[in-house]
Amino acid sequence: NLRINRFANALIALGCKQGDRLTIMADNCAKYLEAYFAAAKLGMSVTPLNTRLGDEELVFIMNDSEATLLVVGDGYEEKVRDFKPQLKNITSWISFDKPVDGFLDYDALLAGATDDEPDPDLYDVHEDDLAILMYTGGTTGLPKGVMLSHRNVMLSGTMAALSMNLNRDDATCYVLPIFHVSWWPILAIMNVCGKVCINRKPNLDTIFQLIQDEKCTHMNLVPTIYGWMEDYPNIEKYDLSSLRILSYAGSPFPTEVLIRCIKRFGNIFGQGYGSTETAGAPVTMLSWDDHYLEGPKAKYLTSAGKASPCSRVKVVDEDDNTLGPGEIGEICARGKHIMKGYWKNP
């Protein structure tokens, strides 16, 4: 928290104010989270950048979001230089990892700032204020900015912590990109004062070693990576017995692969179906109690589960008529975790 306060006070010294936006282009690291929470204390919002996007999309997002400050991680400084002249609003440039010409050094900024809490009378942050402006992949056009409030974000983490019965003894092995809405396990674990163990990039040996060393109890991955883990020839070298919850989302889990994973790791798998627009909170859940390997209920393995505790869900047709079981339509969800709306696109 002291480091977060230092960065918050450094942002104040740079002239940042409540309602401003900062954007981050970096790989997973603890400083990423420091920047997130420092911005939140000041009532600023964060736009995390998908580092896999092309220059055109990155420039669009930074200009569309009207961010005034850009923070970059190691290896992205030169990438930014290539399109720096196209950025309309950025006035401050910060490098997370090392001194770079044209960028302020993150560690130097912290060293020159106090660790006092920002004055709450000056930064009156409300639960409905914008916390994150996260852009979705544009399937038919340019990315859309999803406006997530502090309430949206906190409910996502709180609901996850409650549904998985997390406590302060839990530790999540975090692998997926922090720039993605799948960062909810970090919020969930921090809600219960647990431990977050961050992987910079997904490497199976590194992941297994971290689980073993830190006695991680939880992971959240896409099904593909679980399949790689189950099939990894060196897996027996590691003690993974601390794991008690393996959540998955992002794509269907092939039944035969899921069954192999359950036999390898135990019946500790749970599925969540959500989106950027739901702040990562699941609209539906298939709990580990519903992962039947045989019998009439084994069909549930191909299901997205039941409505989550924080959601009201229905399926409708093209005229918004509610459909019954087995009928195909559009999923509609309602809850306090649902986004405020699309940025500049009501």
pLDDT, residue 9, reads 97
CATH code for the domain of 280: 3.40.50.980
Contact in structure between 22 and 16 (CB atoms under 8 Å): yes
% of the chain at pLDDT higher than 90? 83
pLDDT digits (tens, 9 = 90+) for 140-166: 778 899 999 999 999 999 999 998 999
Q: Are residues 202 and 87 in the same domain?
A: no
Q: Tell me the whole-structure pTM to 2 decimals.
A: 0.93
Lowest pLDDT segment from 68-72, 104-108, 342-346: 342-346
3-state secondary structure 189-207: HHHCCCEEEECCCCCHHHH
Number of structural domains the chain divides into: 2
Report the pLDDT averaged over residues 245-271.
94
pLDDT at 129 over 80: yes
Q: Are residues 305 and 220 in the same domain?
A: yes
pLDDT digits (tens, 9 = 90+) for 272-299: 999 999 999 999 999 988 999 889 889 8
Contact in structure between 270 and 308 (CB atoms under 8 Å): no
Dist CA 82 CA 73 (whole Å): 16
Q: Which domain holds residue 26?
A: 2-125
In a domain, 194, yes or no: yes
pLDDT, residue 139, reads 66
**Confidence tier at 138 by pLDDT (50, 70, 90):** low
Contact in structure between 110 and 100 (CB atoms under 8 Å): no
For 248, the enclosing helix (H) or strand (E) is strand 245-248
Q: Calculate the average pLDDT of the chain.
A: 94
Q: Are residues 213 and 268 in the same domain?
A: yes
Dist CA 101 CA 97 (whole Å): 13
Report the pLDDT averaged over residues 21-26.
97
**Confidence tier at 26 by pLDDT (50, 70, 90):** very high
pLDDT at 21 over 90: yes
Sheet holding 284-286, edge to edge: 195-198, 171-174, 218-221, 245-248, 269-273, 284-286, 306-307
Q: Which of 68, 91, 125 is the last residue of a domain?
A: 125
**Confidence tier at 77 by pLDDT (50, 70, 90):** very high
Q: What is the DSSP letter of 321?
A: P
Amino acid letter at 345? N
Residues 6+ apart with CB under 8 A from 143: 53, 57, 60, 61, 135, 136, 137
